[in-house]
Structure 1
Amino acid sequence: MFSIIINFVGSLMHFYVAHRLYALGPVRARVPARVWWVGAVVLWAFYLWGVQLGDAALDWRWWPGQFSMTWLGVLFCMTQYLLLADIITGFGFWLRTWAPRILALGAIAGVSVSGFAIFQAMRAPAIVEQEVTLPGLPKALDGTVLVAISDTHLGAQRRAEWLGARVDQINALDPDAVVMLGDQVEDEPINDAQLAPVLKRLRPAMGVWAITGNHEYYGDAGGTIHEFSAGGVKWLRDQHVEIAPGLHLAGLDDIGRARRGGRDVNAGLERMLPKRLDGATILLSHIPDPLLVERAAQKDIDLMLSGHTHGGQVWPFTYLAQREFPYLVGWYRIGHMQLVVSRGAGGWGPRMRLWQPGEIVKLTLRAQP
């Protein structure tokens, strides 16, 4: 049903944009109507074909699938601004002298915003720095640097070479520990021979740790865990570890399956941490489910790190995402617990990010004065 709705809405936007762009004088003067509409129909058919193929495959099917997803994003941006222009002019019945110019401005705005969104998705993730004071952190660990990277979504469009550039960014931050917060892959293991050597270039003293996200379980989670383990990554699956005296990492296996099945999202947390650990505890959970966040705060977790939301990725989906995930992006305090939700370094669906650029998070841990 979801696919049918997406195809229907995408088709409406496609032909609306085609119709409004052909209403522009310079376009009509240069392109015969028959050529324009035959081209629009061919592009629409290619778009539907690509949507059916999807963009998760690791072979040639990724290209038409990714084109279709990005084209859907472009159509969404174009529709917003063209529709705004039509509303302002009453679809040409008001401001008749200015209507063509306003429509042209809407088209220019749509193309510009679409281009900027693609640029934001293609550029290197930004480094976001945050200092967090953890009451239980031993004085000897004051200044410990933890780097978090989430939602890399490795697959056909992001391979080991892309991750290698992110490793360079991380190494430049001189981290003591690195954590990967889930959705390391798009769906399936990427089967790239260069992945393990790239991961082995990460050598923080306290290790490289990972948790699963929902996308790992959309494919062969065991295969993904194996190929990352070959690169020296250690996985926490409803487990906790003391990475330095008085500093604990607790990692939850993906809770997405529990959410979809209506099961208790806190079950893994209760099993893993039946009581408070001595020192400071950092909880890693890919999904910042509000029930989980509240329970973690009740259990005296000091810091929780999550991803998953992408910050909404493309505005105005930010507002829709926030209805499901009130802790959408950035830093929050819940009781005495702090929560940091990353926008993620990669992306999902359209190769677009609008006002929500990718990021890698550098956290400097401070002991209580």
Structure 2
Amino acid sequence: MLRSALTVTGAALAGGTALTAWGNRELENFRLHEVTMPLLPAGTLRGESTEFRVLHLSDLHMLPGQDAKCEWVASLIDTDPDLVVNTGDNLGDAKTVPDVLRALGPLLGRPGLFVFGSNDYWAPRPVNPFGYLANRKRPVSDVELPWRDLRAAFVEHGWQDATHARCEFKAGHVRIAAAGVDDPHHDLDDYDTIAGPPHRDCDLAIALSHAPEPRILQRFVNDGYQLALCGHTHGGQICLPGGHALVTNCGISARKAKGLSRIGPMYLHVSEGLGTSRYAPVRLFCPPAATLLRITELP
């Protein structure tokens, strides 16, 4: 019996080690997803194009030496986006603002919107895997990251900070009304600062939040936003075969942890994200990804 138990234990350890090694290799298996949705009023694009392209990026969690990630993100300029939306957690280390800017460099020349997540403000802390799988909220660390430098660089390049702000602008022929909140997972949000419907003359109303917390999403629905963009969940990060999320690390249900879904009449897109915490460098059945949203005119 002892020999059998040792054999089973050894096999389990070997299997776990192999699975962890594979999950670590998945960190550079970058994917670009594409989804199409009809949201624009007929005639918005004036016949010059059949779609308005929104590139959604989130959760880079950039660490020193991640050259492959920098190169892959920079290559996304080839998607020719009309608008870039960044939903936060760009930083994973105090020294990586230059790396984030190197990755996003080509995209910073396009119209952009952003909100930050808690890991833009504070460095990650070690993860208790049992607490993570139990979906427990983890307190932030007390190590502040240089988020002000990152914000200044984004704004200097023309990207608009939607954190507790209402932004109205044109990208091509599309009139956009956007608003966002600070990270609601750690109660940094103050929705009352942006409350109210988007401008009635807009063609596309976009809501931004790092974490897809239902209480915030419902307020965006109530105010009449058409599309909410979020990150934070990493698509579950540790998933079952087929990409089925076990946890979401927030209040959203597992079936809405990644990709496109709906909350009432509003579309919700949750990005799988492009990185992980340095303390949990594994992805299982959930490779890092960005998404190109092809927004077309209504029939």
State the TM-score, normalized to the length of structure 2.
Answer: 0.76
Provide the secondary structure at the position in 1 that maps to 2:282.
coil
Q: Within 1, Cα distance between the matches of 2:17 and 2:177?
A: 45
Q: Within 2, Cα distance between the matches of 1:339 and 1:304?
A: 5
Structure 1 vs Structure 2 CA RMSD: 3.0
Normalized per residue, which structure has more strand?
2
Identical pairs, percent: 22
Which residue number corresponds to residue 215 of structure 1? 119
- How far off is 1:182 after superposition? 0.9
Which residue number corresponds to residue 144 of structure 1? 52
Q: Would the alpha carbon gap of residues 137 and 118 (structure 1) be closer, same or farther in structure 2, given more than 3 Å must change?
A: farther
Q: Within 1, Cα distance between the matches of 2:264 and 2:91?
A: 33
> Are residue 314 (structure 1) and residue 238 (structure 2) matched?
yes
- How far off is 1:357 after superposition? 1.2
Contact in 1 for aligned 2:160/2:167 (Cα 8 Å): no
Q: Within 2, Cα distance between the matches of 1:137 and 1:175?
A: 20
Q: Would the alpha carbon gap of residues 281 and 139 (structure 1) be closer, same or farther in structure 2, given more than 3 Å must change?
A: same
Contact in 1 for aligned 2:177/2:198 (Cα 8 Å): no
> Are residue 247 (structure 1) and residue 247 (structure 2) matched?
no
Question: What is the aligned residue count?
Answer: 266
Matching residue's letter, 2:225: I
Match of 1:175 among 43, 66, 81: 81
Match of 1:131 among 36, 43, 59: 36
> Are residue 331 (structure 1) and residue 260 (structure 2) matched?
yes
Matching residue's letter, 2:71: G
Q: Would the alpha carbon gap of residues 233 and 162 (structure 1) be closer, same or farther in structure 2, given more than 3 Å must change?
A: farther
Which residue number corresponds to residue 291 of structure 2? 361
Normalized per residue, which structure has more helix?
1
Provide the secondary structure at the position in 1 that maps to 2:246.
helix
Match of 1:165 among 72, 75, 96: 72
CA displacement 1:101-120 (0-9 Å, x = unmatched): 43333223112211111111
- How far off is 1:289 after superposition? 0.9
Which residue number corresponds to residue 190 of structure 1? 96
Provide the secondary structure at the position in 2 that maps to 1:353.
coil
Q: Within 2, Cα distance between the matches of 1:198 and 1:344?
A: 14
List runs of 5+ in structure 1 lacking aligned partners.
1-91
List runs of 5+ in structure 2 lacking aligned partners.
123-144
Which residue number corresponds to residue 26 of structure 2? 120
Which residue number corresponds to residue 14 of structure 2? 108
Q: Within 1, Cα distance between the matches of 2:61 and 2:8?
A: 39
> Are residue 341 (structure 1) and residue 270 (structure 2) matched?
yes
CA displacement 1:293-341 (0-9 Å, x = unmatched): 1111122211111101112222479434266322322211122110010
Q: Within 2, Cα distance between the matches of 1:275 and 1:320?
A: 36
Q: Within 2, Cα distance between the matches of 1:225 and 1:322?
A: 25
Q: Which has the higher contact order (CA 8 A, sep 6+)?
A: 2
Matching residue's letter, 2:37: V
* Greater Rg over alpha carbons, structure: 1
Contact in 1 for aligned 2:198/2:224 (Cα 8 Å): no
Q: Would the alpha carbon gap of residues 336 and 130 (structure 1) be closer, same or farther in structure 2, given more than 3 Å must change?
A: same
Provide the secondary structure at the position in 2 that maps to 1:117.
helix
CA displacement 1:79-118 (0-9 Å, x = unmatched): xxxxxxxxxxxxx46xx6x544433332231122111111
Match of 1:266 among 191, 202, 206: 191
> Are residue 350 (structure 1) and residue 280 (structure 2) matched?
yes
Q: Within 1, Cα distance between the matches of 2:249 and 2:230?
A: 15
Q: Within 2, Cα distance between the matches of 1:363 and 1:201?
A: 19
